[in-house]
Amino acid sequence: MRRSAWTTGVAILAALSLGVAACGGGDDGGGGDAKDSTSQNEARTDGKVGGKLTVLWAADVDFIDCGRTYSQMGVFICYSTQKALYSYKPDDPTNMVADLAEGPPEVSEDGKTVTIKLKQGVKYSPPYNKEVKAADIKYAIERGFFSSVANGYTASYFGDLEGAKIGADPGTKVSGITTPDDYTLVLKFKRAVGGAMASGALAYPATAPVPEEYAKEFDAEPQSTYGENQLSTGPYMIENDASGKSIGYDPGKRIHLVRNPNWDKALDYKPAYLDEIDNLQGNDDPGIASRRILDGKGMINGDFAPLPENIKDALDNKPEQLKLAPGIGGRWIALNMTMKPFDDENVRKAISAGMDRAALLLARGGKTVGDVANHYLPPGTAGFEEAGGMNPPEGVDFLSPDGKPLPDVSAEYFKKAGYASGKYEGTEKLLMVGSNVGVNAKVAEVAKENFEKMGFQVQMRLVQPQTMYTRYCNVPKAEVAICPNVGWLRDFPDGQTMLAPTFAGKNILSQGNSNWSQLDDKAINDMIDKAEEAPAETRAAEWAAIDKAVTETAAAIPYIWDKTPLIQSADVNGVVAENNSQWDLSWTSLK
């Protein structure tokens, strides 16, 4: 589900000195066990009402606008401030729950038409205060195609709507979206993709309503400013002033959520116990921030993870304050295939073989926080086993199952590319842009060292995570050769959500691009187009075949299927949103 903004703060030396076995109560005989997210997620329907929760962050969201964001932490905020058409209960990441919708979507027999009935009586936050109508959902989806909004999710899953055009001028209508009445939304597609809609594509903040009469002036800007003036339909809202301006959002410093006075509990399944949620950014020392949370009151972690010593302390002394959210995605090093020398498949395979992926995993914290990834579909996703399970796909000789480098294989592929020395012999400097926060910076450094060992000259630039995405890796014209810190979480448990946004040629966008390698292979594109219309009984096999084909291109270097360590103060009843591998603000409460 979208770009993973996880910025765990695990230093390599700390991981080596402490040993990851401690995180399972291993060889040192240390304390209790971390709770998996399901063990306490029989979600607290009797939670205490009221109180303030503080969330410590390192950085910021990619976009505060819920119609623009396509990241884990953007979703973290938006699921509490907006009612999308559908969403998920925290302990069930598979089955959609009607949120703004009245019931399940109706899909036509040919799979090309989807009809959704809306609840009546849902209102926007002040100062707008009006009732949500179907036309507002229509506009919300349409604006995702605007050049000023450019939502990658909308392009990926709604791009087959009749009349849809990516990069359209603000205000452009989509003929495939109609509203027969105020509470009925009809989506008409050129292809039979209704099954994907019913499987989960309708459960995302991009389907949260936006009234055109209020938002059009903000969307008319070259870059929409609706996010700083947005309305809410969920239980919480960003604190605003009388004009609607979000005074509770100070980029890079704070996202202050307060109760939405127009939220009607009778029209929602979320309990929304808390009165106030203060998201404080700029906590770029994860060790200090983790100790504050574990020793303090009313706090949880946001976009960073605890250091190994913090995890060990929690396991030994405070096991109830640590949870491990299930992995629903992975990370890779993207190689820009439009730039030399990465347009050569043999060069890419040589790099994959020579890369020490085990060291990259260790840089993130070792087996405690994930497993070596050998392809792209993560465990628990339909098609994972057929694609190779924990091993590389059959016939892929340039990835070792344990992630250790294969120097002889690397040398052979470099020779096939014309470099007799068995290393790269070019002299150009390749731009690598990574994250400057916590463990991502360490991963970037390890990657750079590996590239240089193979003969490459790398110019590395480390920036804030959201800047890495929005100004560099997501923008093809930035001409970034290597993106070492990109990651993806599935949008719903289907192979399409991992492979179409990230490797389909049609999803290469001028802004908000998540096909970071810019892979545009006709055979793979055709396979993706076919699999997007596949019936349920064949989807796993078809997406597994695509996973294998993408892995064979060596367009990127997969190295981890993530798990997510989450920590809370002793007085917090934290509940995990398993579909987002993060805390769920609408279900979390204070004791």
The per-residue pLDDT for 43 is: 55
What mean pLDDT, rounded, does the chain reach? 91
Q: Which residues contact 459 (CB under 8 A, 6 or more apart)?
A: 429, 430, 431, 432
| Banded pLDDT at 3 (limits 50, 70, 90) | low
The per-residue pLDDT for range 395-406, each reduced to its tens digit, is: 999 999 999 999
The per-residue pLDDT for 2 is: 54
Q: In this structure, are residues 300 and 289 in contact, taking their beta carbons and an 8 Å threshold?
A: no
Q: Provide mean pLDDT across the span 566-571.
A: 97
d(CA 511, CA 522): 22
Token pair recorded at residue 122: 């849902």
| Low-confidence winner among 28-32, 267-271, 530-534 (lowest mean pLDDT) | 28-32
| Banded pLDDT at 1 (limits 50, 70, 90) | very low
The per-residue pLDDT for range 428-456, each reduced to its tens digit, is: 999 999 999 878 899 999 999 999 999 99
Query: Is the pLDDT reported for residue 22 higher than 60?
Result: no
The per-residue pLDDT for range 295-328, each reduced to its tens digit, is: 999 999 999 888 878 888 998 999 999 998 888 8
Q: Which residue has the tokens 């127009």?
A: 262
Q: In this structure, are residues 320 and 27 in contact, taking their beta carbons and an 8 Å threshold?
A: no
Q: What is the distance of C-alpha 515 from the center of its chain?
A: 13
The per-residue pLDDT for 42 is: 54
| Banded pLDDT at 34 (limits 50, 70, 90) | low
Q: Which residues contact 288 (CB under 8 A, 6 or more apart)?
A: none
Q: Which residue has the higher pLDDT, 9 or 392?
A: 392
Three-class secondary structure of residue 117 per DSSP? strand
The per-residue pLDDT for range 440-498, each reduced to its tens digit, is: 899 999 999 999 999 999 999 999 888 999 999 999 999 999 999 999 989 888 899 99
Q: What percent of the chain has pLDDT over 70?
A: 92
Model pTM? 0.80
Q: How far apart are the first and last CA of the chain?
A: 31
Q: Which residue has the higher pLDDT, 537 or 7?
A: 537
The per-residue pLDDT for 41 is: 55
The per-residue pLDDT for range 330-369, each reduced to its tens digit, is: 999 999 999 999 999 999 999 999 999 999 999 987 887 8
| Banded pLDDT at 164 (limits 50, 70, 90) | very high
